[in-house]
Amino acid sequence: MSTVLTDGSGIDDQSSAPEPPSASTRRRIPARDIAVTIVGTIGMLAVLWLLVSWLFSLSVTVFITGSMSPTMPTGTGAIVQSVSAAELQVGDVVTVHRPDTGTPVTHRVVEIDDVEGSPESRALTLKGDDNAYPDRDTYVVDEVGRVVASLPGVGTVIIWLKHPIAMGAIAVIVAAIAAWALWPSRQGRAAPRH
C-alpha cells in the first residue's frame, strides 16, 4: 500500500511500508552474548542440581571398575538417592561401604535379611552383575544409596572435571568470559573528544 503526499510544491512524495531487512542487515547476536548465555545456563544448572540434590538426598557416584558391566560399565556416572534399608528390594543397585576399609562399593542386592533386635536395619547380600559370586561380606545397614539413574561415560567426564588442572582451566575460562562480558563494547564506548 502506498500513500501520496504533497507538500504544496506540486512534487509528490510517495512512501511505502518499510522493506523487510535483508540477510546482511539483520541484527546478529554477538559472540559475547552467546558465551555469557552458555556460562549462565551451566551455572543455573549447577545451582539447580545443588538444590535438587539437597531436597531429595541425591549424590553422584562413578563406577571405576567393571564389576557392574554390562549394565553399568567402567566410567558410568550414577545418581544415587539415600533411602532407608527397609525400602530396598532384591534387584536394587545400591552403594554401601565395605566394613573393613570403608571403601564404597556399588552392587546389586541379591538377598535381604532382617537383623534381629534392629527393626530398621537389613543385612544385604550384594553381587556385581559381572561377578561370578556374591560379595563375601554381608552389609548390615540402616540407610544406603540406591541408584536411581545412570549414564555410561558421564563418570569419566566427572573424574576429568575434578582433576585440579581441569578445575583451574574451567575457573580461568569462566573468569575470562565474565571479564569479556563486563568489558565495554565498542558501540558502548564514547567517541573521542578533540
pLDDT in tens, 86-128: 999 999 999 999 988 889 999 999 999 999 999 999 999 999 9
Q: Are the C-beta atoms of residues 126 and 146 closer than 8 Å to each other?
A: no
Side chain identity, residue 92: D
Confidence of residue 16 (pLDDT cuts 50, 70, 90): low
Closest CA to 68 of 98, 99, 110: 110
SS (H, E, C) the chain: CEEEEECCCCCEEEEECCCCCCCCCCCCCCHHHHHHHHHHHHHHHHHHHHHHHHHCCEEEEECCCCCCCCCCCCCCEEEEEEEEHHHCCCCCEEEEECCCCCCEEEEEEEEEEEECCEEEEEEEEEECCCCCCCCCCCEEECEEEEEEEEECCHHHHHHHHHCHHHHHHHHHHHHHHHHHHHCCCCCCCCCCCC
Q: Are the C-beta atoms of residues 77 and 147 closer than 8 Å to each other?
A: no
In angstroms, the CA 47 to CA 26 distance is: 35
* Tens digits of residue pLDDT in 66-86: 999 999 999 999 999 999 999
Q: Which residue has the higher pLDDT, 14 or 178?
A: 178
Q: Are the C-beta atoms of residues 145 and 59 closer than 8 Å to each other?
A: yes
The fold for domain 29-180 equals: Umud Fragment, subunit A (2.10.109)
Closest CA to 112 of 91, 90, 144: 90
Q: What was the pLDDT predicted at 15?
A: 53
Prediction pTM value:
0.69
* Tens digits of residue pLDDT in 152-168: 999 989 889 889 999 99
CA dihedral 50, 54, 58, 61 (to 10 degrees): 50
**Region label for 111, one of left (φ > 0), alpha (ψ between -120 and 50) or beta (otherwise):** beta
Q: What was the pLDDT predicted at 184?
A: 78
